Structure 1
């Protein structure tokens, strides 16, 4: 049995790494457990391309992005690496409501422009806009893997231990206080406090956690999707530029798509494009196959042919990834006894990673509350 820790964090993705870093930086004894390696390829935090943006129809999230950006800047300075590459972002489509997004950004004092479709096409001829367009230059692309490794390294500098290849099987409540964790290979580890940040593995783990029945009953329904992402090369055409690609979100009809410069994942040669929540549902991450759905590929290729003339419409690379969703797309950060569950999910959590770690560390230590919208139905109301 390994030496006990005051705090054990399960899962070294963006949220788990951020929580371990925040706890260790506050002087707590921390062990970070990871079933594979930090930012593992079959998790939700691998690779070099996640969208960082301020545009939300809900002012709560826009303000949270502002708060998170301060923490990102401090993290990058402490780690000595660039974590967010500037690119700007465009939002368009009748269901994306660019004018509403512009109002929210204006209320938060965030630099932006609301452009006509014609003006936007003149600026970005590689995109076939068909509605007015919101542009905000402060957006960018998060290098998720580098960010995880930076937070893990800082946690270690503050004394945290990292155990890779430690796959959690079940947790038992000890008689006095604390927990005993059992791995799938028979190892055990004792913890005074436990934080579960297991991403797409959370739905399967919930049954093996010693959580009160009322707490479990109040949790939102989690659904896991095996999402598909495709990389398309920038066209070699004097009318287009591979260096002038913003991130984008486009909502039209029943299809919502997003795209961003693919970065290191795609040899910096193209744009990563995907259908939001377009992949098949699976029970948990353990059930993922890594096989791309041909129907999803066809939808995305058809979309690129229609709306992205600056790209070669045949993907040169493709992959699957995990989205863990709640019905409202809000996160879950909640606690029962000394066990904290953290799930910043629904496909938009990456940009909040340092702030999520701060929220989770506050809740786990009792140092502060988290927003009510992240608490389960059975938890007492707390305000930020």
Structure 2
């Protein structure tokens, strides 16, 4: 009998499978499409790895996760992260407070005036102080999922079942669980870890979770985000050169925009831009349509014209991605009756993937703990 069943083969599910096999546990990963597919939140080659959080908890967790990414890269023999550095600016980004946290945590950083930052990065336009931290970078999400699953399978303790849509998680009379598929297949295991991302809301009533736990979960909001790749102007250097564009977060009272080098799936030819939580709200991934709106396209073009003189303000590629948010933007990692829920990463979970997998694995085997902020009781309170 398989000891653990992981539902979902995105970043969180792949990391959980890898962490479990590193502990000597057996795992079956169930994925309704293919790992890191475009119907979820882990596709593509460009996710931001940054340290700038206003909460010390998350800053410390990024530090821990970054070391774990190094371990995964060494084990896989594959580059997963490109170091680019990151820029934070805008009056609502509170760079002074972020810098104070960096100083307390020993994170290398600089605070520059708009003129100083503009001289160093003339491809940007700044109107407030700018926080620079050079350790930030870009994660290749799809390659990371593939690497962690490959390591898990190579251990001899994991298998990945694709095109396997979960219909129900039921309890077996003799103990443990039976997970059945939409076409009648079944997999048995002692514990179930649900890392279904934006598919979670549609699955919640079918996971065998205790009623009290289910009723205490926070309200999940799924958004279909829209991202736009704008080309570098002639002479600008793409991400894999010696001087890549940094990632950035620009937050004012009106806009919350982020950007990063577009990565492999956009030909390394430009910067990827998006408005944080700017997409439409949907019930779950089942309702995603992959459509780009003319309003959001126009908004991002206008943003580039105002703040990114180093880009041609004409998208050459566009994509959508699903964010699953909690009201506080804190993660949900908790266990009830043998079922572990790992979800609702609120658009900022990719950078933590190896750590999320380790936390979930610890709950599944019963020898770990997670921050209270991620427990259901915290969300309920």
TM-score, normalised by the number of residues in structure 2:
0.96
Does residue 113 (structure 1) correspond to residue 117 (structure 2)? The answer is no
> 1:28 is matched with which residue: 16, 22, 25?
25
Query: What is aligned with 1:189?
Result: 187
- Distance in 1 (CA, whole Å) between partners of 2:259 and 2:355 is 24
Aligned with 1:48 (options 45, 50, 67) = 45
- Using the alignment, how far apart are the partners of 2:303 and 2:379 within structure 1? 43
1:225 is aligned to 223
Per the alignment, in what secondary structure is the counterpart of residue 377 of structure 1?
Answer: helix
Q: Per-residue deviation at 1:84?
A: 0.6
Residue 90 of structure 2 corresponds to residue 88 of structure 1: no
Residue 333 in structure 1 maps to residue 333 in structure 2 = yes
- What do residues 127-161 of structure 1 show as CA deviations (whole Å, max 9, x unaligned)? 00110000000000000011000100111122211
**8 Å Cα contact 1:91-1:135 kept in structure 2:** yes
TM alignment of 1:275-294, pairs within 5 A: 275-294=275-294
- Contact 1:323/1:345 (CA < 8 Å) preserved in 2? yes
- 1: distance between equivalents of 2:104 and 2:298? 39
Match of 1:319 in 2: 319
Q: Aligned with 1:172: secondary structure? A: strand
Matched position secondary structure for 1:298: helix
Work out the number of aligned pairs and report it. 376
Task: Indicate the residue corresponding to 1:162 in structure 2.
Answer: 160
1:370 alignment partner in structure 2: 370
Provide the residue aligned with 1:64 in structure 2: 61
TM superposition shift of 1:50: 0.2
Distance 1:224 1:380 in 2: 19
List structure 1 segments (4+ residues) > 3 angstroms apart after TM superposition: 240-244, 378-381
The 5 A counterparts of 1:265-276 are 265-276=265-276
**Are positions 1:136 and 2:125 aligned together?**
no
User: Would you say the 8 A contact 1:279–1:293 is kept in 2?
Assistant: no
Tell me, yes or no, if the aligned pair for 1:51 and 1:141 is still in contact at 8 Å.
yes
How far apart, in 2, do the equivalents of 1:65 and 1:19 lie? 17
Distance in structure 1 (CA, Å) of the matches to 2:247 and 2:38 = 23
- 2 CA distance for matches of 1:25 and 1:141? 25
Q: In structure 1, what is the Cα distance between the partners aligned to 2:314 and 2:26?
A: 50
Aligned to 2:75: 78
Aligned mates of 2:17, 2:344 — CA distance in 1: 15
SS in 1 for 2:192: strand
* Maintained 8 Å contact 1:224/1:282: yes
Partners of 1:210 and 1:10 lie apart in 2 by 13
Deviation at 1:38, TM superposition (A): 0.9
1:271–1:380: structure 2 CA closer, same or farther, 3 Å change rule?
closer
Task: Indicate the larger mover: 290-299 or 132-141.
Answer: 290-299
**Contact conserved, 1:124 with 1:244, CA < 8 A, in 2?**
no
Residue 205 of structure 2 is aligned to residue 207 of structure 1: yes
Give, in whole Å, the separation in 2 of the partners of 1:324 and 1:283: 10
Counterpart for residue 95 of structure 2: 98
Deviation of the 1:176 alpha carbon: 3.2
Task: Report how far residue 379 of structure 1 moved.
Answer: 9.9
- Residue 293 (structure 1) shift: 1.7
Mapped partners of 2:194, 2:109: distance in 1: 37
Q: Secondary structure at the match of 1:346?
A: coil
1:378: Cα distance to partner? 8.1
Asked if structure 1 preserves the Cα contact closer than 8 Å seen for 2:373 and 2:379, the reply is no
Deviation at 1:209, TM superposition (A): 1.4
Match of residue 38, structure 1, among 35, 38, 47: 35
Contact 1:232–1:317 at 8 Å: present in 2 too?
yes
Q: Distance in 2 between matches of 1:146 and 1:285?
A: 22
Superposition RMSD in Å: 1.4
Q: Which moved more, 1:207-216 or 1:222-231?
A: 207-216
Separation in structure 1 between the aligned mates of residue 293 and residue 326 of structure 2, nearest angstrom: 23
* Cross-structure match for 2:348: 348
Which consecutive residues of structure 2, in runs of 5 or more, have no partner in the other structure?
Answer: none
| Structure 1 residue 282, shift from structure 2 partner | 0.5
Structure 1: gaps of 5 or more residues: none
Is contact 1:214-1:378 (8 Å) kept? no
